[in-house]
């Protein structure tokens, strides 16, 4: 069985639990996905499947190498915008063209969600690294400054990796052990308790927690 699926973040909302409490959830369109390629240990050195995220609109512009890759499936699989690999066991029977749907998961299950964080542009020390800053009293001259970034006499340089201002966001982020609150099989929707990295409309990879 495949241990994960590709999805798209729809947005956040809130639903009511069985006891009437309000639960904040993130709505994710999990699938439908289709097996585009089956990799075996005999040919590729490991067991995995390559999934493609099927969307309502098929991409019009497809490169020749990618078009040829999809033609190897026999023509039954249309080109998809996003491809991801998932490890499987050797005995799993997942031929090319097999559909992977949201029923892969169950309610009250723990999952991991991998996404790309929102881009924040050039950010300062306080926002990017959570520096405390100086006192905000009158005349302190040290409100949102970084403080010392190195020594003066020796070694007289700034060490690589020092936390400084710079580009923030657009990084891969994994949120582990999220709780699957509800599943809508007909609409391929997954309601996950809590927040998921990335903007609305961003692609995410959902996998079963280890």
Give yes or no: residues 94 and 134 share one domain. Answer: no
Give yes or no: residues 54 and 87 share one domain. Answer: yes
Low-confidence ranges of the chain (pLDDT < 70): 74-76
Domains held by the chain: number: 2
pLDDT of residue 170: 94
Give yes or no: residues 190 and 90 share one domain. Answer: yes
DSSP string, 73-93: TTS-S---S-EEEEE--TT--
Give yes or no: residues 194 and 114 share one domain. Answer: yes
In a domain, 188, yes or no: yes
Give yes or no: residues 116 and 126 share one domain. Answer: no
Give the CA distances from residue 90 to residues 38, 70, 101, in Å, rounded to whole numbers and listed in that order: 11, 23, 21
In a domain, 156, yes or no: no
Give yes or no: residues 105 and 14 share one domain. Answer: yes
Give yes or no: residues 35 and 88 share one domain. Answer: yes
pLDDT of residue 194: 87
List the CATH number of the domain containing 82.
2.40.30.10
In a domain, 140, yes or no: yes
In a domain, 194, yes or no: yes
In a domain, 157, yes or no: no
pLDDT of residue 70: 82
pLDDT of residue 76: 64
In a domain, 158, yes or no: no
In a domain, 132, yes or no: yes
Which residues are within 8 A (CB) of 84 and not within 5 positions of it... i.e. 6 or more apart? 4, 6, 50, 51, 53, 205
Q: Is 188 within 8 Å of 102 (Cβ atoms)?
A: yes
Give yes or no: residues 140 and 113 share one domain. Answer: no
pLDDT of residue 102: 87
Q: Is 163 within 8 Å of 125 (Cβ atoms)?
A: yes
Give yes or no: residues 130 and 44 share one domain. Answer: no
Helix %, strand %, coil % of the chain (to 5): 10, 40, 55
Q: Is 39 within 8 Å of 47 (Cβ atoms)?
A: yes
Give yes or no: residues 131 and 104 share one domain. Answer: no
Q: What is the C-alpha separation between 5 and 86, in angstroms, rounded?
A: 8
Q: Which domain range does residue 126 map to?
A: 122-148+163-168
Phi, psi dihedrals of residue 52, rounded to the nearest 5°: -115, 135
Give yes or no: residues 55 and 129 share one domain. Answer: no
pTM above 0.85, yes or no: no
pLDDT of residue 13: 93
Give yes or no: residues 50 and 25 share one domain. Answer: yes
């Amino acid at each position: 069985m495949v241990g994960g699926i590709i999805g798209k973040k729809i947005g956040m909302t809130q639903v009511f639990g069985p006891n009437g409490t309000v639960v904040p959830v993130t709505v994710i369109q999990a699938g439908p996905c289709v097996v585009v390629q089956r990799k075996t240990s005999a040919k590729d050195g490991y067991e995995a499947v390559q999934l493609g995220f099927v969307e309502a609109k098929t991409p019009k512009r497809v490169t020749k190498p990618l078009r040829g890759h999809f033609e190897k499936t026999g023509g039954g699989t249309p080109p998809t915008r996003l491809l991801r690999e998932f490890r499987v066991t050797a005995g799993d029977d997942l031929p090319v063209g097999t559909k992977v749907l949201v029923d892969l998961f169950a309610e009250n299950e723990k999952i991991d969600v991998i996404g790309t964080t929102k881009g924040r542009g050039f950010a300062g020390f306080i926002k990017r690294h959570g520096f405390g800053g100086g006192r905000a009293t009158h005349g302190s001259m040290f409100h949102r400054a970084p403080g010392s970034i190195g020594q003066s006499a020796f070694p007289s340089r700034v060490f690589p990796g020092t936390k400084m201002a710079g580009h923030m966001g657009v990084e891969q982020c994994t949120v582990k052990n999220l709780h699957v609150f509800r599943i809508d099989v007909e609409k391929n929707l997954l309601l996950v308790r809590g927040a998921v990295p990335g903007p609305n409309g961003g692609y995410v990879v959902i996998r079963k927690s280890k």
